[in-house]
A and B are shown apart, each in its own frame.
Chain A
Amino acid sequence: MEFVFFVEVLAGGLLAGVMYALVALGFVLIYKASGVFNFAQGAMVFFAALTFVSLTEAGWNFWLALVVTLAAMVLLGIATERVVLRPLVNQAPITLFMATIGLTFVLEGLSQMIWGSQPHGLELGVPDVPMEWLSQRWNVNISQFDLFAALVAGVLVAVLALFFQKTRIGRALRAVADDHQAALAVGIPLQHIWAIVWAVAGFVALVAGLMWGVRNGVQYALTFVALKALPVLILGGFESILGAIVGGLIIGATEKLAEVYLGPFVGGGIESWFAYVVALVFLLFRPEGLFGEKIIDRV
């Protein structure tokens, strides 16, 4: 029984980690291409999910609402590049980071101004309840929706990997990520690339928003999921898509096991900060994260 329970906690943690990884992917994409830590990723998740759910509640067809929301996210990405990033080209990374903090508040306010601040329910047709056969046979509760989310994350990573490896734009993105100046020198339009990567991050935000929206409802608190992605990024590395997934799995499993097995000895409620403890320990030994690029500066 104890072992079954352990397996259940571990499986639940790994699947929760997949959900964190979905958010972390958005951060990775932008950091990889532009070196900007996009603080607004959580707000983008909120904006995407709220737009989608508001459209469906207004009677729009599911797929139409999805396409229109995706278009909105692409437009948002392009607008961000034009209005926020382009004027700040060649500025220090901290300046760009501060700009994304500003963008966070603008997006949060804009979302609530357009769609209101009321929470919404969201269903995607996959119930968030345990699979009966697994429950009855092994007494292990694994949610159908968690598995669905894991599948979605897997497909997303595969699509992104193909996009980066096999398409022209993807190769250009990698070139920009490697060296802005060199990419410019060979004629890669930096601004277009940034707009594309922000649009792709918007798409990832939409997927993450839908998954988290089913789990918690679509409401302002979706912006907080970004906090769950930070330790994942520290651990997995800011530039690695694979790192986001592996980091998510490690963080998810560790925090759940810690909450269940260590929490009761210290009053409980430790999972939110324990994830950061794990990430900080990793920082001590591998500052670039598990899959991050080692940066060597000449001095």
Chain B
Amino acid sequence: MKRKSLLVAVAALAAGAYAGAVAAQAKEQFVPANFYWVGPYAPGGSGASGGMIDYFKLLNARDGGINGVKLTWEKCETEYRNDRGVECYERSKKKGPTGATLIHPFSTGITYSLIEKGTADKIPIVSVGYGRTDASDGRVFPYVFPLITNYWSQNTAKIKFIGMKEGGMDKLKGKKIVNIYHDSAYGKETIPVLDVQAKKFGFQVTHIAVPHPGNEQQAQWLQVRQIKPDWVILRGWGVMNPTALKAAAKVGFPSTKILGVWWSGAEEDVIPAGDAAKGYIAAGFNLPGTKQPVMQEILKYVYAKGQGELEDKSRIGSIYHTRGVVLGILTVEAVRKAQERYGKGNSMTGEQVRWGLENLNLDAKRLKELGASDLMQPLKVSCLDHEGGGAVKFLQWDGKAWKVITDWIPSDQSIVRPMIEASAAQYAKEKGITPRDCSKEK
């Protein structure tokens, strides 16, 4: 009898411990941190992952998580390689009590590799400012979210900026623009939209490819010198960016007439170029600095306690770091939104977070509450529109820091949206996908 009682007690204890463990586990929200900390693109990966994790640490320390659900994460090194990116995805997708919340591949190539996998596994693929542009059509790509601004939107904002500088869009007629691009899928992504804009506004565009990795560009910039363009659009990545700025200086092309994509617009892209980068302008969907309230909170709750992700403190508030904070905000707010519908204080599944992302509405008021008004633009996502924002600010490098030189410039959706819908429809046809009817989505 005694023995039986003992067994029952042990079983009860074990069951209690198990239930406790399950309950404790249920109070976690797992987010894979699949980035890159080594290799040629490490500055981008380490900076952005640092920002995202710093924001998660802030939420856990200051608020106790999202309605009591603590954020957890695990780092996986993708090396910016598609095969490694897929491996990290497979490794992380079932971790945590409800599996991966969502994935930030932080690479256009990895994003392409994960689109079908994420859709099948019901895990949202969030590609903020990169990835597949036509995935902005949520009817065809329910699990892919190229949030804030896609490449085509950005490009129309760039042409608007050039128009502003030239004194009006009508002044673009007859102007010459050279598009220097990284010879990859990423680099070629904006060629179609630039061609459409050239036709619409009457400017002449010349596309010049730079082979990977872009550490030798003499021939390309000599061609630029021969064409004598009014503006050069720089669509680079990694070492291609400082090399381009140096090569431009070598042929005497002014840096103030070079307009970079946001992957050419971080401190790491201009510092190695030295004086050649002074005056260079780049697009941005997130703004640098540590004055924003959310950055101050990160300093107070995370770095002051010695728990910050970035070892080099001079990188706090850099472009890549604040970009990571934006990734953190989007992740957390999507989970928060999902909890509003599926139960506050619960861990959300990828499927539930997908709904949260699709109903995300970060208006000016909410951004102010988050202390991120000067960090990012308001955005409203919907079933039809997985981009949600579309505006761009332009920043100019003064030799020491990026200075914001414009307000948010909206994209030209009259050009972008029809192209997105046509491309997405083509994809749907090729893959046999029946687009969702957004009027039936709740």
Which chain B residues lie closer than 8 Å to A272 at the CB level? 211-212, 216
A112 touches B218 (CB 8 A): no
The docked-state distance in angstroms from the alpha carbon of A278 to that of B295 is 54
Which chain B residues lie closer than 8 Å to A130 at the CB level? 250-252
A241 to chain B, nearest CB (A): 23
B274 touches A123 (CB 8 A): yes
Within 8 Å of chain A (Cβ to Cβ): is B225?
yes
B409 to chain A, nearest CB (A): 29
Q: Which stretch of B35-43, B111-119, B123-131, B341-349 is in the interface? A: B35-43
Within 8 Å of chain A (Cβ to Cβ): is B215?
yes
* 8 Å CB contact of B215 from A8, A9, A225, A259: A225
* 8 Å CB contact of B272 from A16, A120, A135, A269: A120
Within 8 Å of chain B (Cβ to Cβ): is A189?
no
The docked-state distance in angstroms from the alpha carbon of A121 to that of B270 is 9
B245 to chain A, nearest CB (A): 10
The docked-state distance in angstroms from the alpha carbon of A103 to that of B358 is 48
The docked-state distance in angstroms from the alpha carbon of A267 to that of B315 is 38
Which chain A residues lie closer than 8 Å to B46 at the CB level? 117
Q: Which stretch of A70-78, A152-160, A214-222 is in the interface? A: A214-222
A209 to chain B, nearest CB (A): 13
Contact size range, A = 35 or more
B45 to chain A, nearest CB (A): 9
Q: Can you list, as one digit per residue, whether each of A262-275 has a CB less than 8 Å from chain B (1) or not (0)?
A: 01100111111100
The docked-state distance in angstroms from the alpha carbon of A129 to that of B37 is 33
Within 8 Å of chain B (Cβ to Cβ): is A116?
yes
Q: Can you list, as one digit per residue, whether each of A35-48 has a CB less than 8 Å from chain B (1) or not (0)?
A: 00000000000000
Given contacts A9-B219, A267-B209, A269-B183, contact A216 B251 (CB under 8 A): no
A129 touches B211 (CB 8 A): no
For chain A residues 1-29, which have a beta carbon within 8 Å of chain B?
5, 8-9, 12-13, 16
* 8 Å CB contact of A119 from B209, B213, B272, B275: B272
For chain A residues 128-144, which have a beta carbon within 8 Å of chain B?
128-130, 135, 141, 143
Within 8 Å of chain A (Cβ to Cβ): is B223?
yes
B250 touches A129 (CB 8 A): yes
A8 touches B238 (CB 8 A): no
The docked-state distance in angstroms from the alpha carbon of A255 to that of B211 is 12
Given contacts A141-B225, A217-B242, contact A268 B208 (CB under 8 A): yes
Within 8 Å of chain B (Cβ to Cβ): is A118?
yes
B250 touches A221 (CB 8 A): no
Chain A residue nearest in CB terms to B274: A121
Within 8 Å of chain A (Cβ to Cβ): is B246?
yes
Number of chain B residues close to chain A: CB under 8 A: 43
The docked-state distance in angstroms from the alpha carbon of A267 to that of B312 is 41
Chain B residue nearest in CB terms to A135: B252
Within 8 Å of chain B (Cβ to Cβ): is A260?
yes
The docked-state distance in angstroms from the alpha carbon of A221 to that of B260 is 20
Which chain B residues lie closer than 8 Å to A93 at the CB level? none
B43 touches A119 (CB 8 A): yes
A249 to chain B, nearest CB (A): 14
Which chain A residues lie closer than 8 Å to B226 at the CB level? 5
The docked-state distance in angstroms from the alpha carbon of A5 to that of B211 is 22
Which chain A residues lie closer than 8 Å to B272 at the CB level? 119-122, 216-219
Within 8 Å of chain A (Cβ to Cβ): is B273?
yes
Chain A residue nearest in CB terms to B206: A264
Within 8 Å of chain A (Cβ to Cβ): is B222?
yes
Q: Can you list, as one digit per residue, whether each of A192-217 has a CB less than 8 Å from chain B (1) or not (0)?
A: 00000000000000000000100111
B38 touches A109 (CB 8 A): yes
B216 touches A16 (CB 8 A): yes
For chain B residues 189-226, which have a beta carbon within 8 Å of chain A?
207-213, 215-216, 218-220, 222-223, 225-226
Chain B residue nearest in CB terms to A258: B219
For chain A residues 100-129, which have a beta carbon within 8 Å of chain B?
108-109, 112, 116-123, 127-129
B211 touches A270 (CB 8 A): yes
* 8 Å CB contact of B213 from A120, A224, A268: A224
The docked-state distance in angstroms from the alpha carbon of A143 to that of B250 is 6
A243 to chain B, nearest CB (A): 21
B105 to chain A, nearest CB (A): 19
Chain A residue nearest in CB terms to B226: A5
The docked-state distance in angstroms from the alpha carbon of A89 to that of B211 is 39
Given contacts A135-B252, A216-B239, A220-B42, contact A260 B219 (CB under 8 A): yes
Chain A residue nearest in CB terms to B246: A128
A224 touches B225 (CB 8 A): no
A59 to chain B, nearest CB (A): 15
Within 8 Å of chain B (Cβ to Cβ): is A32?
no
A238 to chain B, nearest CB (A): 22
Given contacts A121-B274, A141-B250, A143-B250, contact A268 B218 (CB under 8 A): no
Q: Can you list, as one digit per residue, whether each of B355-398 has a CB less than 8 Å from chain A (1) or not (0)?
A: 00000000000000000000000000000000000000000000
22 A-B residue pairs with Cβ-Cβ distance under 8 Å, sorted by A, are A5-B226, A8-B225, A13-B218, A112-B38, A116-B311, A117-B42, A121-B272, A123-B274, A128-B249, A141-B250, A217-B273, A219-B40, A224-B40, A224-B213, A260-B219, A260-B223, A268-B183, A268-B208, A269-B183, A269-B210, A271-B211, A271-B219
In the complex, besides A129-B250, A129-B252, A215-B215, 11 extra interface pairs with C-beta distance below 8 angstroms are: A117-B37, A130-B250, A216-B215, A216-B243, A218-B272, A219-B43, A219-B272, A220-B39, A220-B42, A222-B215, A268-B207
Mark B residues whose CB is within 8 Å of A: 37-40, 42-43, 46, 183, 207-213, 215-216, 218-220, 222-223, 225-226, 238-239, 242-243, 246, 249-252, 268, 271-276, 311-312, 315
Closest 4 CB pairs of A and B: A217-B272, A269-B209, A221-B239, A117-B42
